[in-house]
A and B are shown apart, each in its own frame.
Chain A
Amino acid sequence: MEQRLGNTWRMTVNERKFIESALLSGLRIDGRDPYDYRTLSVKFGSEDGSAEVHLGQTRVLAYVTSQLVQPYRDRPNEGTLSVYTEFSPMADPSFEPGRPGETAVELGRVIDRGLRESMAIDTESLCILSGKLVWAIRIDLHIVDHGGNLIDAANVAALAALLTFRRPECTVGGENGEEVVIHPPEAREPLPLTIHHLPIAVTFALFDDEGTLVIDPTHLEEAVMGGRMTATLNTNGDVCAIQKAGGVAVPPSVIRHCLRIAATKAGDMTSKIKEAVDAYNRDRALQKIKRHPFPASVNARLAGTHMGEKQKKSEPPIHKGDGLKQMAVGISSHITKDRECKMQSTRGNSHIDGISNSFVGTPSSWDPYSKGVDTELLKLSLASQASSKPSEKQEEVQPDTRSFEAKPQAVPEETKEPSRAIQPARSHTQSKGERTLLDAVKPKNKRKKKASTMDGR
């Protein structure tokens, strides 16, 4: 049992012998098979490029940020990638704050090698002005809970964060072609990184020279093991990196066996990561539709998850003034993907009614027949989103409702939107809105067709 005194955790002889002898019979102390991974869960934060991975008890946070810098002299056309690892003292009592220890450095290096040397990320696409300005991608990994097998978990976190990271779009212009304009996310949709393949790290714990090995060791098994080997592979069967730094010596047949197992595991992990990222991207795309006509990033963050509460109440009466406010509401409810947070609002309830009286949003020149439609479209799409099951609502649509306040009316339009590929050119929403208004007076089926032709443009 762990003592209450921080740094003095030592494994007892009993525990060690127990783990070793159980392994000889192929049993692990948490009941897994020797080649089984623990449950992996990938969650994303509210910003692009932030991911949190739970691998059993191990927990890693990854943040990806980008900056414009001068490139290295010997590679003027390539962006740079750097990995920083922080072994937070909260993860393990033996982690000291300050400079990274050797395990931290090794972890950073293994992940870096897997990404950089295998060209997983296309660094040439990060070049803006050759020799002058390139994007430098920085990955910060924070280990917050050390339950064993940090390399694999940190690698998954780094990949998940890279897959969901978006960098601002920039255009080169000016007289001599040297002026670079960086567009804020409201103006132009930020771009994802070009990632060719996903290198997955699979760690094996080796116990003796006869090839007793397990995958994904817990921290107790790590304290007992004789050596460790990490193989980084991708689904194409390429070996991106292998790391075995000392430890017990094993024959090459064991190494080959490990690589074969690692290949299958890499496939599993890749599909899990892709699933999680796809789900995140879908949610993000849905909220992009509503987010468009105003300083979305501002509203989105400020509204926070507060408005989730609001939606739980019976849908408040929607009038035009409310629309924008409620839209901000809907955005934010989808931004926080982190499901660990329990929603509790302290004062939110009593003040929600007060909110409906205040009016936020662009139009001082608000004219219901020009820009008002955006409000309507978005507000209605929000309202349908509020039920969080737009597909179900589609069945309940009454074809005859024409009034602006009718929620079901928006549903066919709204469900059309996500079914299309989401176009980055959101600036057309304005004109799209106008057409939607005109179409609103036409019969419903024609409007649907118009919606499809509009999006096609």
Chain B
Amino acid sequence: MAWGGSDPGCPLLRRLPDQTSGRRTTPAAGAPQFEGLMEIDRADGRTPNQLRPLSCSRGVLHRAHGSASWSQGNTQILAAAYGPKAGTKKNENPERASFEVIWKPKSGQIGKQEEEYEMILKRTIQSICVLTVNPNTTTSVIVQVVHDDGALLPCAINAACAALVDAGIPLKHLAVSICCSLVEPGIVMLDPTKLEEEKMKAFTYLVFPNSSHSVLNKGSAQSENNDETEQGLITSVTHGIMSVDDYLQCLERGRAATTKLSDFLRRNLQPQLPSNT
């Protein structure tokens, strides 16, 4: 079942087509950039820097105050936001707005994985929203997984952000999220599918603020994992082992990809006026 008959270690890498298949060559450490090279062979024919097709629809639900359905390739997430409700939970700061995230998997019990996703989403949302406008309120964001085909958390963050926009919750900026995976040390691939993710050495979910329309040197970001010069990194979750250089390369790639995502988001969210209840 291998593509090109290569060994199961990394079926995505193969020799260029003018040679017979079979052996895979390990690229030297510090491999050259592969914008133009076709060394990476993804099952659906994308290049390493290519994202799956995106689609986003807002206002899909009638009862929720804001809702959005976001899909990247086959991964599809439905997110809904219910506007500020009075009161906060006990351990939340009543001088700020607080958020509550509920993650609903496709089937099965809610376990630790879902709770972790909820926590990450909640912290990400907290850093993009203006918390001082509605103090002592709770806004709920509910995420339902419709189909999982890789890059689930980034898709959910994008969907949740779109749902918040649809609900009219005041935001500082949008959150744009992407998954970068490490095929081999030195080779980074964007937006893996589920099967690709399983074969990766490591992958990371990154969330950046969206790029601003006017090009400025300094971005507007607050950051939890800070330090980037232009645009701050809001959230980063990694799985697997990667070297520091590889991680930084992932960040670069991710940030470059977010400009495209931001454009898509801007085009999608802008012309539609929010529908009345």
Residues of chain A touching chain B, judged by Cβ–Cβ distance below 8 Å, are 1-2, 4-8, 45-47, 50, 57, 59, 61, 63, 65, 84, 86, 88-93, 97, 138, 140, 142, 144-147, 186, 219, 294-295, 298-299, 301-309, 321, 325, 328-329, 332, 335-336, 338, 340-348, 351, 354-355, 357-362, 364
Residue B65 is within 8 A (CB to CB) of chain A in the complex? yes
| Residues of chain B within 8 A of A361, CB atoms compared | 3-4
| Residues of chain A within 8 A of B268, CB atoms compared | 344
| Residues of chain B within 8 A of A45, CB atoms compared | 146-147
Are B104 and A340 neighbours in the complex by a CB distance under 8 Å? no
Query: Given B3, B46, B102, B195, which contacts A89 in the complex, CB threshold below 8 Å?
Result: B102
Residue B82 is within 8 A (CB to CB) of chain A in the complex? yes
* Cross-chain pairs A/B with CB under 8 angstroms, 24 sampled: A6-B140, A7-B85, A50-B147, A89-B102, A90-B144, A91-B64, A294-B1, A298-B1, A298-B195, A302-B73, A304-B149, A306-B46, A306-B73, A309-B53, A325-B45, A328-B44, A341-B69, A343-B55, A345-B53, A346-B53, A355-B46, A360-B45, A362-B3, A364-B21
Are A357 and B38 neighbours in the complex by a CB distance under 8 Å? yes
Are A351 and B50 neighbours in the complex by a CB distance under 8 Å? yes
| Residues of chain B within 8 A of A348, CB atoms compared | 50, 53
Are B82 and A351 neighbours in the complex by a CB distance under 8 Å? no
Are A144 and B44 neighbours in the complex by a CB distance under 8 Å? no
Residue B80 is within 8 A (CB to CB) of chain A in the complex? yes
A325 vs B63: C-alpha distance in the bound complex, in angstroms?
Answer: 43
Residue B184 is within 8 A (CB to CB) of chain A in the complex? no
| Residues of chain A within 8 A of B86, CB atoms compared | 5, 8
With contacts A45-B146, A328-B45, A343-B55 known, is A336 near B60, CB below 8 A?
no
For the complex, count residues of B whose C-beta is within 8 A of A: 66
Residues of chain B touching chain A, judged by Cβ–Cβ distance below 8 Å, are 1, 3-5, 17, 20-22, 38, 41-47, 49-57, 60-65, 67, 69, 71, 73-74, 76, 78-80, 82-86, 102, 104, 106-108, 140, 142, 144, 146-147, 149, 193-196, 260-261, 263-264, 268, 277
Q: In this complex, what residue of A is CB-closest to B102?
A: A97
A4 vs B54: C-alpha distance in the bound complex, in angstroms?
Answer: 31
Query: Given A7, A90, A299, A354, which contacts B61 in the complex, CB threshold below 8 Å?
Result: A90
| Residues of chain B within 8 A of A8, CB atoms compared | 85-86
| Residues of chain B within 8 A of A307, CB atoms compared | 44-45
| Residues of chain A within 8 A of B50, CB atoms compared | 347-348, 351
| Residues of chain A within 8 A of B82, CB atoms compared | 6, 89-90, 93
| Residues of chain A within 8 A of B64, CB atoms compared | 90-91, 145
Q: In this complex, what residue of B is CB-closest to A325?
A: B45
**Known A86-B104, A344-B264, A354-B38; 11 more pairs at CB < 8 Å:** A6-B65, A6-B85, A8-B85, A61-B146, A142-B104, A306-B53, A307-B45, A340-B69, A348-B50, A351-B50, A364-B22
| Residues of chain B within 8 A of A90, CB atoms compared | 61, 63-64, 67, 78-80, 82, 142, 144
A186 vs B62: C-alpha distance in the bound complex, in angstroms?
Answer: 40
A186 vs B1: C-alpha distance in the bound complex, in angstroms?
Answer: 10
Are A347 and B44 neighbours in the complex by a CB distance under 8 Å? no
With contacts A45-B146, A93-B63, A142-B144 known, is A304 near B52, CB below 8 A?
yes
| Residues of chain B within 8 A of A2, CB atoms compared | 277
Q: In this complex, what residue of B is CB-closest to A9?
A: B63
Are B17 and A359 neighbours in the complex by a CB distance under 8 Å? yes
Query: Given B4, B51, B52, B65, which contacts A359 in the complex, CB threshold below 8 Å?
Result: B4
| Residues of chain A within 8 A of B21, CB atoms compared | 364
A330 vs B62: C-alpha distance in the bound complex, in angstroms?
Answer: 34
A50 vs B44: C-alpha distance in the bound complex, in angstroms?
Answer: 23
A93 vs B277: C-alpha distance in the bound complex, in angstroms?
Answer: 14
Are B54 and A344 neighbours in the complex by a CB distance under 8 Å? yes
Query: Given B43, B45, B52, B146, which contacts A298 in the complex, CB threshold below 8 Å?
Result: B43
| Residues of chain B within 8 A of A146, CB atoms compared | 63
A294 vs B5: C-alpha distance in the bound complex, in angstroms?
Answer: 13
| Residues of chain B within 8 A of A294, CB atoms compared | 1
Min CB distance A161 to B, Å, is 11
| Residues of chain B within 8 A of A345, CB atoms compared | 53-54
Q: In this complex, what residue of A is CB-closest to B264?
A: A346
Query: Given B67, B73, B196, which contacts A304 in the complex, CB threshold below 8 Å?
Result: B73
Min CB distance A154 to B, Å, is 15
Are A336 and B80 neighbours in the complex by a CB distance under 8 Å? no
| Residues of chain B within 8 A of A97, CB atoms compared | 102, 142
Are B17 and A343 neighbours in the complex by a CB distance under 8 Å? no
A46 vs B43: C-alpha distance in the bound complex, in angstroms?
Answer: 18
The listed residue with most A CB atoms (<10 A of its CB), out of B45, B55, B85, B264, is B45
Min CB distance B46 to A, Å, is 7
| Residues of chain A within 8 A of B71, CB atoms compared | 341
A359 vs B146: C-alpha distance in the bound complex, in angstroms?
Answer: 32
Are A138 and B107 neighbours in the complex by a CB distance under 8 Å? yes
Q: In this complex, what residue of A is CB-closest to B47?
A: A351
Min CB distance A195 to B, Å, is 20
| Residues of chain A within 8 A of B193, CB atoms compared | 301-302, 304
